[in-house]
Chain A
């Protein structure tokens, strides 16, 4: 009898595994939950890509729902993401770029070739703001509400389907709020 029960062990183990695999299906593997959600956007003081003499701080984000996008001209995925960012800008979403660990020349050329959806582009060559945001790698995007609170975090490229399904509804929701 014990031997019979022993033969059931593989089946039981597999059933357990299947449960986890099923749960895994419904989880977003890309979205690493940012510890910053619900917190204030970290403070900063950075010049813009366009002009080294123009500096901005966190007050830049006050008053309007903003999507902050961390990018770099060195990052191929950011290139893939640009059409979606252009589409978001066309739909009236305010975009602020954080040009992460990059050079002004490369960034300017990148924006000249692919278009510039950003209202303001902060220049973060040393990655200080990126560090405060806990950025693992570009691109990453943070949705910040009118009070400067981070409401949503997207890791990796914003794909065409994400625009409609994830970004725009959330922008709308925090605008209405």
Chain B
């Protein structure tokens, strides 16, 4: 009965969600300003309702995909009846309109989570936080409804078949990468809303930071995972074996991550010491602004990139207005109200406060570096100075030394005490770690590769310095306890989160260093029976076949890989031709390992039964993403700390008290 109207149900639910978002934005904020509890009480039910209706809209769009309803323009452009069902379901966020809907759904989801999990929040603060989130949500729902409606019908000329999902996106990495990334982007809206609420109230106390910190950590962890997945996807899907291209879209995700990392640390200082308050608020605004800027850059077509969305200046103008209102409004409020929240706290030049200040400055400099590199072509173009592109050399030349400096201070930070740390004691505690790192880093390339390599030594020096100083800190903490067991029990999850997060960065640095320096790559012409040697492995091409998939045909090569004369395994790289779009795609054959990946991609058919193959040996490449996973785990672990849980546990008691 209802089946033919599913898209209309979704469209209607979307409009209702917008109405609720508007109420969520208007009434509670007015109520908080005029101290009317009834008006403030609107915030929570509206946040729940907005989320529920967006869920309906999202489910409707997914149903349209699963039912092959090609009368819906978005479905016709991004799916095909031969697409496997799981790709139909995930094609919902395969292009601009649907991914914007997902964006809105997640924003409402975060709002809903705040409404559900932070019940102990003072009513006025809750009203303001949810009100600000409602404002942001209204803006984006308007954007979806007015410029990017995914439910637009193609009537009466309904296409018989869809154009298919871009084959690049028909992949498990792409199923989870955008949702994770958006969860991160959008998650920063919570801390942004907290920051605006604090400015409106004109007050930041320790309770405020305790409320804001867990949300920031979780959003940051999502963003970390999202970026890592994007890099992993590019690695195995694009067929070049690269894992980071300094592409504008990648930079767009790195920008809020860097600012968010600074924010995590600044929040720690604000909670522990009551200082850096206006700086924390500014970073919260920056972080979310950079998330919005990323959205703008990706969707407006202002910058060209390998994975930009369909370009449309109208949409770009709309997002720019949204960006202007959100960021401009927030920064104006900041300029007017920041003096009220700031508070002077003194600390010595050598102290954890000072080291975290350096950390913040470095991270902000890194953010600005990436931002300038990304926008430089745009600025030159706007000034009429010609069209240029800024490539990896610029980013590497600035990013590598900045990271090195950051690591230097990262080793000192956890060991140093708040307020003041005597230099002599710092030296006494870390001299061993420094010496150990220098010696091990100098020797490691000799042992691993037989030849000294300054680049590798520098990278390993940073990673070892981080790991050894963390180990030293842990050792000191346990040494002072009665027994190591008792010492371990006394350490809070927040401490373990910090250890894990920093360890993760060290692991990523090892991965970057080794794979950048010891990567071996050969482009070869191979016919059946040919053999190629690479990094101790022998690759023999056994056969070349054809295969038919659900929506593609493929040339498949079978390679036997042996080492020391002993056959180890076979690899099956493919060159696929996706039929609906006549688009060729490389399906890489990978043999992953903790210490090395073997990577074979098919190039082109050279005729006479020979193919161009690209064979690569990529040592330690997995460590890149392993490190990111550790960082994200650290971020989440810190949230489990008792001081954040207490508020929630008490909230539960109170609720039970009311109902019983």
Contact = CB atoms under 8 A, between A and B. Distances in A.
Instruction: Note whether A and B form a binding pair.
Output: yes
Nearest to A155: B304
B382 A23 contact: yes
Contact of A20 (B278, B282, B378, B386): B378
A56 interface: no
A13 to B, nearest CB: 9
A10 interface: yes
A14 B331 CA distance: 9
A139 to B, nearest CB: 15
Contact of B300 (A10, A25, A103): A25
Given A25-B316, A30-B304, A11 B381 contact: no
Interface stretch (A72-80, A85-93, A166-174): A72-80
B52 interface: no
Contacts of B581: 80
Contact of A3 (B300, B339, B584): B339
B303 A22 contact: no
A144 to B, nearest CB: 22
Given A8-B335, A25-B300, A80-B581, A18 B375 contact: no
Nearest to A25: B316
B323 interface: yes
Interface residues of A, number: 30
A79 B582 contact: yes
Contact of A24 (B378, B582, B583): B378
B507 interface: no
Contacts of B323: 18, 21
Contact of A29 (B302, B324, B331): B302
The SS class assigned to the A binding surface is helix
B492 interface: no
Contacts of A114: 582
B331 A24 contact: no
Given A7-B335, A11-B331, A80-B581, A18 B324 contact: yes
A26 interface: yes
B303 A29 contact: yes
Nearest to A74: B604
A23 B302 CA distance: 9
B379 interface: yes
B262 to A, nearest CB: 14
B317 interface: yes
Interface in B337-388: 338-339, 375, 378-379, 381-382, 386-387
B304 A29 contact: yes
Contacts of B386: 33
A6 B488 CA distance: 46
Interface string B22-54: 000000000000000000000000000000000
Interface of B: 278, 282, 285-286, 289, 296, 300-304, 311, 313, 316-317, 320, 323-324, 327-328, 331-332, 334-335, 338-339, 375, 378-379, 381-382, 386-387, 581-584, 604, 607
Given A21-B378, A25-B300, 17 more contacts: A4-B339, A7-B335, A10-B331, A11-B328, A11-B332, A17-B375, A20-B375, A20-B378, A21-B302, A21-B323, A29-B301, A76-B583, A76-B584, A79-B582, A79-B583, A80-B583, A103-B607
26 contacts: A7-B335, A7-B338, A8-B335, A11-B331, A11-B332, A14-B289, A14-B328, A14-B331, A18-B323, A20-B378, A21-B296, A21-B302, A21-B320, A22-B320, A24-B300, A24-B302, A24-B381, A25-B320, A26-B313, A27-B382, A29-B304, A33-B386, A76-B583, A79-B583, A103-B607, A114-B582
A-B pairs, 5 with minimum CB distance: A23-B382, A11-B331, A24-B302, A7-B335, A24-B378
